[in-house]
Amino acid sequence: MRSCIYPGSFDPITCGHLDLIRRLASMYDKVTVTVMINRAKAGCIPSEERVKLIRKACAGIRNVDVELWHGLLADYAAAHPGSVVARGIRNASDFEAEMTAAAVNRRLNPGMETVFLPASDKWGDVSSSAVREIASFGGDYTPFVPGCIRRDLKKWLKPVKEVL
C-alpha cells in the first residue's frame, strides 16, 4: 500500500491545503493528515478542533484519515513505516524551509522520505497565517477556506479589538 503523511498545523485548514489533500489522495492509497503542534506558533484554534474541522472538510475523500500528534514529525514517520511525508510548496521560500526541515528529519529518522508537491496556481498565495490576519482585521477570509467549515471558523477567527 502506498501511503503518505501530510503534516501541518492547519490553523485553519485552507482551500490550498484541501486542494493538496485531494491531489495526494489521487496519488496514494492512504493519506494521513497529521495535525502537528508547532510551538513556534501560537494557535488560535485548539488542536482537537482543527482535527474535527479537517475531518469535516475531507469527509468526501474516502482514503484520508486525520490524526493529532504531539511530537516530532520524524518520530511520527518512524511509527508509520513505509509512508512518505508530503509537503506543499508555494514559493521559493517554502522550498528552502522545507528542504532544511527534510534534511533535519532525515538525520533524526534516516528512513524518512519527503516529497514536495507544488501548490496549484489558484491557491499558491493562500496560507493559514494570511487567513488569520484577514480575520483579525474583520476582512472576508471565506474565499480561502472550505465552504463546509466557514460557519465553524467564526467561533475562532474574529476581529481583534485594538487596545491603545
Active site residue 90: yes
Active site residue 70: no
Q: Which of 80, 83, 128, 132 is catalytic?
A: 128
Q: Which of 41, 107, 154, 158 is catalytic?
A: 41
- 128 closest CA partner among 147, 141, 111, 113: 141
Active site residue 47: no
As given in the structure block, the three cell numbers for residue 149 are 467549515
Which residues, other chains included, contact 106 with Cβ-Cβ below 8 Å and sequence gap of 6+? 112, 114
- The C-alpha atoms of residue 24 and residue 92 are separated, in whole angstroms, by 21
Active site residue 151: no
Q: Which of 55, 90, 106, 150 is catalytic?
A: 90
Q: Which of 17, 50, 87, 132 is catalytic?
A: 17
Catalytically active residues are: 17, 41, 90, 128
